[in-house]
């Protein structure tokens, strides 16, 4: 985008350096989907209910191996699947080629560097990726996402965000950790979740919601998980100020 500072500016956030070492590792990526256990069908149905059709452009930010992007592609005109990890993008590219999917464009870029080309997006999706950015950079990323979308376009965001009270963090986090997977091949273990809490950037829902609104979104729907450690938002882009 024309008002971005030069990419080489020393104060820019190193997205690749904070993407999670495992997301750059081809061996981990091969086993990632089984571990994540993500079924994209409810998200595909949600987008279709929100008006996504064969004329739509959708951008998936932090797409990983592209489970969602591949599932939504038959219902769209154009899907742009963006991830900062070269290994994730390589896995997605080879799978899209293998499946003969021609309307999906894998792009290696981050939240803070992706430059959208072509018609503004009708829909943006991001699942379990924004927590890689500290809050200052989350806000910058959200403002960039608003500029990718056409006015009235829909942003669907889901991630590890904390909806528990500021004074109940210990209780809520210990409750969540107590239900962690025993097996690393089929879920996230206590040790992995502890690393997430300590080293990644999940934030409170009340902070995130203020950032969404400042970035130019209207929050139309929100869901908080029972564990109070995940949240999902359906937002629309407000008219430009």
Ligand X SMILES: C[S@@+](CC[C@H](N)C(=O)[O-])C[C@H]1O[C@@H](n2cnc3c(N)ncnc32)[C@H](O)[C@@H]1O
CB of 141 to ligand X, least distance (A): 8
Contact flag: residue 38 with ligand X (CB under 6 A): yes
Separation of alpha carbons 229 and 215, rounded Å: 23
CB of 178 to ligand X, least distance (A): 22
Sheet strands (E) in 84-159: 104-108, 121-127, 149-159
Calculated CA dihedral for residues 29, 22, 93, 131, nearest 10 degrees: 120
Residue corresponding to tokens 């279709």: 48
- Helices 26-36 and 86-99: crossing angle, nearest 10°? 70
Contact flag: residue 15 with ligand X (CB under 6 A): yes
CB of 62 to ligand X, least distance (A): 3
Stretch near ligand X under the rule CB under 6 A, chosen from 61-69, 159-167, 181-189, 201-209: 61-69
Contact flag: residue 106 with ligand X (CB under 6 A): no
Longest dimension (CA), the chain: 51
Query: Which of 129, 149, 231, 235 touches ligand X (CB under 6 A)?
Result: 129
CB-CB neighbours of 64 under 10 Å: 24
CB of 132 to ligand X, least distance (A): 3
Q: Which residues bind ligand X (CB under 6 A)?
A: 15, 19-20, 23, 36, 38, 61-64, 67, 83-85, 88, 110-111, 127-129, 132-133
């Amino acid at each position: 985008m024309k008002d971005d500072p030069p990419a080489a500016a020393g104060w820019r956030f190193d997205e690749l350096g904070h993407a999670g070492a495992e997301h750059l590792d081809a061996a981990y990526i091969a086993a990632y989907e089984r571990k994540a256990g993500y079924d994209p069908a409810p998200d595909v149905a949600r987008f279709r209910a929100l008006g996504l059709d064969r004329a739509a452009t959708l951008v998936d930010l932090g797409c990983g191996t592209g489970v969602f992007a591949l599932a939504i592609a038959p219902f769209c005109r154009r899907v742009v699947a963006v991830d900062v990890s070269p290994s994730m993008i390589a896995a997605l590219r080879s799978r899209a080629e293998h499946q003969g999917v021609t309307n999906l464009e894998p792009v290696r870029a981050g939240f803070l560097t992706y430059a959208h080309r072509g018609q503004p997006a009708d829909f943006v999706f991001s699942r379990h990726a924004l927590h890689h950015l500290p809050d200052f950079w989350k806000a910058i990323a959200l403002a960039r996402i608003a500029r990718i979308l056409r006015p009235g376009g829909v942003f669907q965001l889901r991630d590890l965000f904390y909806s528990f009270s500021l004074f109940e963090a210990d209780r809520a986090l210990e409750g969540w950790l107590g239900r962690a997977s025993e097996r690393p091949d089929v879920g996230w273990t206590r040790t992995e979740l502890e690393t997430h809490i300590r080293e990644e950037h999940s934030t409170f829902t009340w902070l995130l919601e203020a950032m969404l609104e400042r970035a130019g979104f209207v929050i139309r729907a929100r869901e908080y998980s029972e564990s109070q450690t995940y949240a999902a938002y359906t937002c629309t882009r407000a008219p430009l100020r």
